[in-house]
Amino acid sequence: MKNLISMVAFVTAVGLGAAAHATPTFPGPDLVTNGNFESTTGGAGELSTLSNAYNTNLTGWSNDGYNFVFASGTGDTTGSPSAQFGNNLSLWGKHNGSRYVLPASSPAGGNFVALDGAFEVGSLSQTLTGLTPGGTVAVSFYYGFGQQHGFDGVTNQSLDVSLGSTTQSTANFVVDNHGFTGWQFGTFYFHPTSSTETLSFLAHGDLPVPPFALLDGVTANAVPEPAAWAMMLVGLGGLGALARRRRAVSAVAA
């Protein structure tokens, strides 16, 4: 019954358009740890890699590229501490001279991650467990594309999302000089082949201006099988019949 209620709530939210600005909730637990990037060791800053100890670590995630955690409101102001860059790295936005607005945080709120798509490119990844081989997993996330402050030019950017050996990619975005695309929302569907697989995000971009893919609000949920969807439709039909009956009773009483 609990799963049925969850499925009904999800379909109702989609039907009302409520999912446009919120991560959809499928029945079952979210398989991602720290998908909003709020839990860190060392605060915001350049993420540590397998071979170098830099400013910070993200609970539950592994990193092997030139990637950063930004605290809310710092993207185009104080920036994020960088050990390799030598000082704080910031992104173009209205607070440092761009005509494009870089919001203080993503729609998920709080911290977000910025992945460099052209310098020491490497993935941000996490091992997911409890997957059902042959089932369906929905990976949802907020993303956007910006550029490093202090550089000029147009970039072409995209983001790869992988689960196990399967990779899907966002559309390619042409980012104007000093630009930001705005936050987008994406959901990719994967079919795991084992109960444990690695979820990873990898940015792609070109120079002359260092391109950054921004990421937040990552979730991974099992999608109901057809039998479960059939139960949900029966439940929705029952709720509709109950509502009609109540309206009829109210009309007679009046």
Tens-digit pLDDT profile for residues 161-180: 999 999 999 999 999 999 99
pLDDT of amino acid 6: 37
Using CA atoms, how far residue 216 sits from 67, 92, 156, 194, in Å, is 13, 18, 20, 26
CA separation for the pair 161, 168 (Å, rounded): 5
pLDDT band for position 83 (50/70/90)? confident
Domains identified in the chain, total number: 2
Asked whether residue 52 falls in the same domain as residue 12, the answer is no
Asked whether residue 101 falls in the same domain as residue 12, the answer is no
Output the CA torsion 181→183→189→194 (10° steps): 100
Mean of per-residue pLDDT scores for the chain: 85
- Domain residues for the domain of 248 are 1-22+227-254
Asked whether residue 37 falls in the same domain as residue 132, the answer is yes
Asked whether residue 41 falls in the same domain as residue 116, the answer is yes
Asked whether residue 238 falls in the same domain as residue 158, the answer is no
Asked whether residue 218 falls in the same domain as residue 231, the answer is no
Asked whether residue 101 falls in the same domain as residue 157, the answer is yes
Find all residues with CB under 8 Å of 246, minimum gap 6, and list them: none
**Does residue 226 surpass a pLDDT of 90?**
no
Asked whether residue 213 falls in the same domain as residue 235, the answer is no
pLDDT band for position 23 (50/70/90)? low
Asked whether residue 4 falls in the same domain as residue 64, the answer is no
Q: Is 53 exposed, middle or buried (0-12, 13-18, 19+ CB in 10 A)?
A: exposed
pLDDT (average), residues 118-128: 97
Asked whether residue 179 falls in the same domain as residue 95, the answer is yes
**Does residue 150 surpass a pLDDT of 50?**
yes
Between 121 and 12, name the one with better pLDDT: 121
pLDDT of amino acid 85: 76
**Does residue 57 surpass a pLDDT of 70?**
yes
Asked whether residue 132 falls in the same domain as residue 191, the answer is yes
Asked whether residue 93 falls in the same domain as residue 170, the answer is yes
Q: What is the CATH number of the domain that holds 186?
A: 2.60.120.260
pLDDT of amino acid 236: 52
**Does residue 9 surpass a pLDDT of 80?**
no
Per residue in 108-119, pLDDT (tens digit) is 999 999 999 999
SS (H, E, C) 12-50: HHHHCCHHHHCCCCCCCCCCCCCCCCCCEECCCEEECCC
